[in-house]
């Protein structure tokens, strides 16, 4: 598969906190298109909010990127859901064509408008996607397919607008596409060699490093049910 080093940003999206589903859980997952220019700081786009800052946002999750390329597959699998008619269905801040988890690697550095961002980790889907789509298994399907999207940390703050070019300028870990990390976390879950290599990655956030370290120490995989299903069925 050929690598794409330059791609236009189709949409920039931000979200305000609003209640979601029967539980009325506060969340910023419902993001809307903003034309810009918009300031991107080390904690994310101005005007973007997260309902639970313990697991969302922060320096290692400043920007969420979800490939618009995946929407066609979702339409085939769950039907022409209204959310799939436009960017933002998965709560993403950036929407593009051409970049996927197979072609983007941990530590890739991109110039984005006047800002510079670095790929920090893939997304771990949670039960809020179930409520948002009205599909009880949506989070599990996102995890199972590997169509998760990813996060950036911001290396240099700056203004960004829709239509700006997302240009890859550094690739220090070409052997670590996000798909490989996904396979370690969810497919080859107890492959000790892969876990040891993952734990040694300097670019990896501490939270993901601990997954590898704990599995190596315990020989067990962590329970995903609470993240994927919530405290009770949704």
**pLDDT at 36 (0 to 100):** 75
Query: Are 161 and 113 within 8 A, CB to CB?
Result: yes
Residue 111, classed as helix, strand or coil, is: strand
- Name every residue whose Cβ is closer than 8 Å to that of residue 73 and which is 6 or more positions away in sequence: 145, 147
What is the pLDDT, as a whole number, of residue 51? 67
Q: List the beta bridge partners of residue 25.
A: 20
pLDDT of residue 168: 98
Q: What does the pLDDT read at residue 2?
A: 44
Give pLDDT < 70 ranges for the chain. Answer: 1-3, 51-57, 231-234
Residue 217, pLDDT score? 98
Give the model's pLDDT for residue 233.
Answer: 41
Q: Classify burial at 225, counting beta carbons within 10 Å of its beta carbon; exposed 0-12, middle 13-18, buried 19 or more.
A: exposed
pLDDT tens digit sequence for 218-228 = 999 999 999 99
Domain 6-173 has CATH 2.40.33.20: yes
Distance, CA of 69 to CA of 194 (rounded, Å): 28
**Amino acid 234: pLDDT:** 34
Q: How far apart are CA 118 and CA 202, in angstroms?
A: 13
- pLDDT confidence of residue 52: 64
Distances (CA, A) of 39 to 42, 133, 142: 10, 30, 30
Alpha helices in 146-218 (DSSP H): 178-186, 192-199, 206-218
Where exactly are the structural domains of the chain? 6-173
Strand partners for 165: 8
- C-beta separation of 212 from 199 below 8 A: yes
- Distance, in Å, from the CA atom of 174 to the CA atom of 178, rounded to the nearest integer, reads 10
Using DSSP's 3-state secondary structure scheme, residue 185 falls into helix
């Amino acid at each position: 598969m050929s690598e794409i080093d330059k791609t236009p940003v189709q949409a920039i999206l931000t979200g305000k906190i609003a209640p979601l589903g029967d539980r009325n859980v506060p969340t910023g997952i419902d993001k809307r298109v903003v034309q810009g220019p918009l300031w991107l700081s080390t904690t994310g786009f101005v005007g973007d909010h997260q309902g639970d800052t313990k697991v969302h946002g922060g320096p290692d999750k400043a920007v969420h990127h979800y490939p618009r390329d995946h929407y066609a597959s979702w339409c085939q699998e769950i039907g022409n859901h209204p959310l799939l008619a436009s960017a933002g269905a998965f709560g993403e801040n950036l929407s593009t064509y051409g970049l996927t988890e197979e072609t983007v690697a941990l530590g890739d550095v991109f110039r984005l408008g006047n800002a510079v961002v670095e790929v920090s980790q893939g997304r771990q889907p949670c039960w809020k996607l179930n409520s948002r789509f009205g599909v009880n298994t949506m989070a599990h399907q996102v995890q199972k397919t590997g169509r998760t999207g990813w996060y950036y940390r911001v290396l240099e703050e700056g203004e960004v607008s829709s239509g700006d070019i997302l240009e890859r300028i550094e690739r220090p870990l070409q052997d670590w596409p996000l798909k490989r990390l996904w396979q370690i976390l969810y497919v080859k879950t107890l492959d000790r060699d892969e876990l040891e290599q993952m734990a040694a990655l300097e670019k990896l956030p501490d939270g993901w490093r601990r997954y590898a370290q704990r599995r190596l120490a315990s020989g067990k995989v962590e329970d995903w049910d609470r993240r994927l299903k919530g405290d009770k069925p949704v």
